[in-house]
Structure 1
Amino acid sequence: MNKLVTVHQKNLVSLHPHPSACLSPDEETGLEVHKITRPPGFDNNRRRSRAVLYQLSGHLQKQDKSKLKINNSMFGATTNPIPEYKVAATPKSRFILLHYGTFKAGWDWLILLATFYVAITVPYNVCFTVVEGRDEGGGSGARNPPSYSDILVEILFIIDIALNFRTTYVSTTGQVVYEARSIFVHYATSWLFVDLIAALPFDLLYAFNISVYFGVHLLKTVRLLRLLRLLQKLERYSEYSAVVLTLLMSTFALLAHWMACVWYFIGRKEIESNSLSSWDNGWLHELAKRLDTPYFLQVNGSGVSGAALGGGPSVRSSYVTSLYFALSSLTSVGFGNVSANTDSEKIFSICTMLIGALMHAVVFGNVTAIIQRMYSRRSLYHTRTKDLKDFIRVHGLPKALEQRMMECFQTTWSVNNGIDVSELLKDFPDELRADIAMHLNKELLQLSLFESASRGCLRSLSLIIKTSFCAPGEYLIRQGDALQAIYFVCSGSMEVLKDNTVLAILGRGDLIGSDFLTKEQVIKTNANVKALTYCDLQYISLKGLREVLWLYPEYAQKFITEIQHDLTYNLREGHTAEVSTRHTEQNAFTGTYWHCGVLSLSLSLSLSLSLTCAAAAKNSVRGRGWLSLPACVPLCLQHKAA
């Protein structure tokens, strides 16, 4: 009762800052208090507290409450006292295509094919079809109607411009931009001009029966500027060696095609610009003489000035010969059967040889590197095999051991392709490495043994799980060996042998090991474990397992209980010398799994009782042991009875 009234008095002091408002305990509660025991100095402390509260209340009444920023900032609902940082939602416009989406990737490949089509047909039409058509028609223009493929390509280019206005891009800060206005400005200031010129429908001039001059056809070559965008996107496919190799060889073939067109165009212009007596200087005239299709002038009614050039080799023969000269000049110095005779032809030949030298360094250098990268694994396999054979030869290993080593190496290589997972993942952050390890070892972690483990515990366990392999006839464990790990059979079949007797057959999903995980005791196996087929195994070392269980003591006892039921075969049971005590000056396990142990019968009863109770008491203080102090009493009684 005294305590109740005293507490109530303190509440009254805190609720009534003004002394005039304070009531006595009797008046406030209506209770009859006969005698209250107050601590020394209670009245002085009470008066001092009231004085402080009175001064504070007067000070607060004089101030304008609207100026109390502490109340507005701490208790107001409009603003947060502590800033919260989170990923802001990115504003997105409607009908926006992702630049990394599946549709955009397929569309880019379609535009790539259309660009290659333009790069092939435009130079050919300008140098072969247009020139031949003008000469045959005898007029200033040739009116060959466009093909359906040309019209389709122009439509694709126009649609591509519209899609680029609605496609996201990556800014200089590395962020993906989704806003339509920013996308419009970015595209308008980068590739819009080039794409507009490439998409101009020159072929519509034929539809309106307009005379097309030779210069108009040359404007189509502007479409080749779209190849610059192709070079920009090559880095996206740099990881695919076959794709890059195909693109590089296609680029080289495309360059040879352009050189062939220009070579024919120069030869044709040499014949047209020179007089009849100097025709025999050009390469095209030499080709016509060898094919017995000489050039001649077709004189019409206006005389020699209006004559047209006739005869000569066919377009097919001219193109094939031009392509032959271009390729021989790009890859070597030519063979002389098609040679440059005039000054223009010689200058072009020099330029072709220089470009060929550059292409050797750029294209064929990259092709060599790509081919080496494609066969790097095979080269590494042969290197490892040679090193293994040299090791066997130097150390003089027996034939049986050599065969086992080679078989194990070849089978292991076929499984992991020479990739060391730990070496590959060592540069990744721990968070990402743990997620990858959980995915790789999900089959083992899905056992009922780990159902009660927290996610952090599972992540720690996944980082210590290793993989192993056993060939048929190989022993995984031999009887009497120190057990170092708990093994999980991922695939294959194994047998447990003891004294030439099969005790168990293990298969996929079986768990073998021991349920005795104390730090200070070494577990000796009681049987042999032998592989019947090729077996893939995952294992957790006992040392790493103890460290993880020490970090998660709430799961440790559950693990000890569950593993007794989940083990397919316990390698500890039934062995006469199943454990051997190993003393250490300092217990690195910090008392997580303390055992009272098996006390020697030769010790006296008092010594046995004192040791047992001391261990249990120490374990009880640490709070994580197997046996508490009350649990020690039955054990001591058992020793007393013995």
Structure 2
Amino acid sequence: MRRPSRFSSFASVETRLHFRIDRERLSAASEESSETSSVSPVLGSQRNNTAGSSRRIGERFIILHYSPFKAVWDWVVILLVLYTGIITPYTISFLSDEDQKRTNLNAQAATRQFNRERTSIHALILIDVLVDMVFILDILISFRTTFVLKETNEVITSPILIAKHFVIDNWRRFGADILGALPWDILFYGNGSHSTMRLANCFKLARLLRLIEFIGNFQNSEYSSAVLVFLMLLFAIAAHWLACIFHFIAILERPNLLVKYSWLDHLAEKYEMPYLANDTLSGPDLKSKYLTALFFAMTSLTSVGFGNVAANTNGEKLFSILSQFFFFINKLLISSL
């Protein structure tokens, strides 16, 4: 019987050590794989929970287009649009003229103290700032309001799709909202003339484009009495606009007239409040000028024409012709409804 050599015994010992090391490595790898497999579902569930929670947070502030809040908010916006349609022409035509008078008084040291005692912050300025803030808030609400996809009649609640629909698909309304919501009178305050301030206030009239969509929905209403009231309101607003334009034409033409014969001069002569060359605040008061202009606009629209307030200058006569034409077109539109 052959005795094993020292080399063969050493090789067998080395082989057993390699087998033991391999078994330890395999057991360690299996333990790591089991731990990884047990941890990966937890990580996956955490990722899903995180994505779901972020999605829920994004959709938490979404406003449904048929919600009661959105219905009330739309009526508030429409009322503020009507307020803008009334106040903005009045500000451009009448209040801007009064501001220009106060500026002329401030230019002279003798009348600066007198103007400071009579000048106060007008309530309409504070109201206009609040209205501008509401229209800026309306743009933010539009970015969070759902809409119905026409192809599938599906209510879209994704914030990204809502923003894309509002900015790209409805770019006309988006541009009009941006143009009408910016506080242009505050941005141009102290940086321009009164003509620039009048132009800045004209940008607010872009809000009136919201009435087009409202009128289209309102005509489909079954309440005929409500439609009649709304048409009467539009007629009153049209008369208010014509009154403001009638006064604006007079204040533009009067400084260039060699003979003062505009309707403002006739009004000043009738009420014994003449315009004085050395007195900026002379002439008829603001209430008398507005009521007289509104009276002329109403008589022109209704074709009554009492004749006690007449168009004298060429600009006033042209305005009277256009207002009669406007009334004729308005009658045709109302009769077609």
Same fold judged by TM-score > 0.5?
A: yes
Quickly say closer, same or farther: Cα 1:212–1:157, change in 2 above 3 A.
farther
1:277-426 mapped onto 2 (5 Å cutoff): 278-280=259-261, 282-298=262-278, 309-332=280-303, 334-363=305-334, 366=337
State yes or no: 1:226 paired with 2:207.
Answer: yes
Gap change, CA 1:139 and 1:164, over 3 Å in 2: farther
Quickly say closer, same or farther: Cα 1:339–1:365, change in 2 above 3 A. farther
Aligned counterpart for 2:184 among listed residues 183, 199, 202: 202
The Cα shift of 1:273 comes to 1.9
Map 1:211-290 onto structure 2 (within 5 A): 213-237=194-218, 238-275=221-258, 278-280=259-261, 282-290=262-270
Cα displacement (A) at 1:346 = 0.8
Q: Give the strand-richer structure, 1 or 2.
A: 1
Superposition deviation, residue 267 in structure 1: 1.3
Tell me how far 1:314 sits from its aligned partner.
0.9
Asked whether the equivalents of residues 140 and 213 of structure 1 are also in contact (C-alpha less than 8 Å), the reply is no
Structure 1 position 144, deviation (Å): 5.7
**Deviation of the 1:98 alpha carbon:** 1.6
Counterpart amino acid of residue 284 in structure 1: L
SS at structure 2 position matched to 1:297? coil
Deviations 1:571-625 (A, max 9, x none): xxxxxxxxxxxxxxxxxxxxxxxxxxxxxxxxxxxxxxxxxxxxxxxxxxxxxxx
- Higher RCO structure (Cα 8 Å, ≥6 apart): 2
The verdict on how the C-alpha distance between 1:160 and 1:212 changes in structure 2, with shifts beyond 3 A counting, is farther
| Distance in structure 2 (CA, Å) of the matches to 1:312 and 1:197 | 36
Query: What is the TM-score normalised by the length of structure 1?
Result: 0.38
Q: 1:312 to 1:286 in 2, by over 3 A?
A: same
Identify which range, 262-271 or 197-206, moves more after superposition: 197-206
Aligned to 2:131: 153
SS in structure 2 at match of 1:295? coil
Q: Name the amino acid aligned to 1:244.
A: V
- How many Å separate the matches in 2 of 1:173 and 1:234? 25
Q: Does 1:177 align with 2:156?
A: yes
Cα distance change of structure 1 residues 252 and 114 upon mapping to structure 2, 3 Å threshold: same
State the distance in 2 between where 1:188 and 1:140 align. Answer: 45
Residue 151 of structure 1 aligns with an amino acid whose one-letter code is V
* 1:403-457 alpha-carbon deviations (Å, 9 max, x no partner): xxxxxxxxxxxxxxxxxxxxxxxxxxxxxxxxxxxxxxxxxxxxxxxxxxxxxxx
Give distance in 1, aligned partners of 2:213 and 2:152.
17
Q: Report deviation, 1:178.
A: 2.6
C-alpha deviation, 1:333, in angstroms: 5.3
> 2:176–2:209: 8 Å Cα contact kept in structure 1?
no
Distance 1:137 1:312, change over 3 A: same
Secondary structure of 1:181's aligned partner: helix
Distance 1:272 1:136 in 2: 17
Judged with a 3 Å threshold, the aligned counterparts in structure 2 of structure 1 residues 205 and 223 are, in CA distance, closer, same or farther, namely closer
Q: 1:167 aligns with which of 129, 135, 145?
A: 145
Distance 2:100 2:314 in 1: 25
Q: Distance in 2 between matches of 1:174 and 1:350?
A: 51
- On the 8 A contact 1:333/1:353 being kept in 2, the answer is no
Q: CA 1:265–1:174 in 2, change beyond 3 Å: closer, same or farther?
A: farther
The change in CA–CA distance for 1:239 and 1:100 in structure 2 (over 3 A counts) is farther
Alpha-carbon spacing, 1:340–1:140, altered in 2? closer, same or farther (3 Å):
farther
Offset of 1:365 from its aligned partner? 5.7
**Does the Cα contact within 8 Å between 2:100 and 2:194 map onto a contact in 1?**
no
How far apart in 2 are the matches of 1:248 and 1:159? 29
Point out where structure 2 has 5 or more consecutive residues left out of the alignment.
1-54, 108-118
Which string of whole-angstrom CA distances, capped at 9 and with x for unpartnered residues, describes residues 59-83 of structure 1? xxxxxxxxxxxxxxxxxxxxxxxxx
Judging changes above 3 Å, is the alpha-carbon distance between structure 1 residues 143 and 188 closer, same or farther for their aligned structure 2 residues? farther
Instruction: Report the equivalent of 2:99.
Output: 133
Q: State the 1:177 CA deviation.
A: 2.8
Q: CA deviation digits over 1:165-190, x for unaligned, max 9?
A: 11122334362333222221221132
Number of residues of Structure 1 aligned to a counterpart in Structure 2: 263
Equivalent AA in structure 2 for residue 169 of structure 1: F
What do residues 231-260 of structure 1 show as CA deviations (whole Å, max 9, x unaligned)?
A: 212343422333322221111111110110
2-structure distance, mates of 1:154, 1:232: 21
Q: 1:202 to 1:327 in 2, by over 3 A?
A: same
User: How has the CA–CA distance of structure 1 residues 286 and 174 changed in structure 2, closer, same or farther, with 3 Å as cutoff?
Assistant: farther
One-letter identity of the residue aligned with 1:262: I
Contact preservation (8 Å) 1:169, 1:177: yes
C-alpha distance in structure 1 between counterparts of 2:181 and 2:270, whole Å: 42
Q: Contact (CA 8 Å) 2:149, 2:156: kept in 1 or not?
A: yes
TM-score, scaled relative to structure 2: 0.71
Amino acid corresponding to residue 266 of structure 2 in structure 1 = E
Deviation at 1:286, TM superposition (A): 1.1
Aligned to 2:116: none
3-state secondary structure, aligned to 2:277: strand
**By how many angstroms is 1:139 displaced?**
7.0
Residue 211 of structure 1: how far off its partner (Å)? 5.8
**Partner residue of 1:386?**
none
Q: Which residue of 2 aligns with 1:23?
A: none
The answer to whether the 8 Å contact 2:299/2:306 transfers is yes
- Look up the equivalent residue of 1:148 and give its one-letter code: L
User: What SS does structure 1 have at the residue aligned with 2:151?
Assistant: coil
- 1:309-340 CA distance string (max 9 Å, x none): 55221110110010011111112152221111
Change (3 A) 1:120 1:98: same
Deviation at residue 216 of structure 1 after TM alignment? 2.3
Change (3 A) 1:174 1:239: farther
Q: Deviations over 1:32-60 (max 9, x none)?
A: xxxxxxxxxxxxxxxxxxxxxxxxxxxxx
- Of residues 82, 98, 121 in structure 2, which corresponds to 1:116? 82
Q: Which amino acid aligns with 2:137?
A: I
- For the aligned residue pairs, the C-alpha RMSD in angstroms reads 2.7
What is the CA–CA distance in structure 2 between the aligned matches of 1:162 and 1:144, rounded to whole Å?
Answer: 30
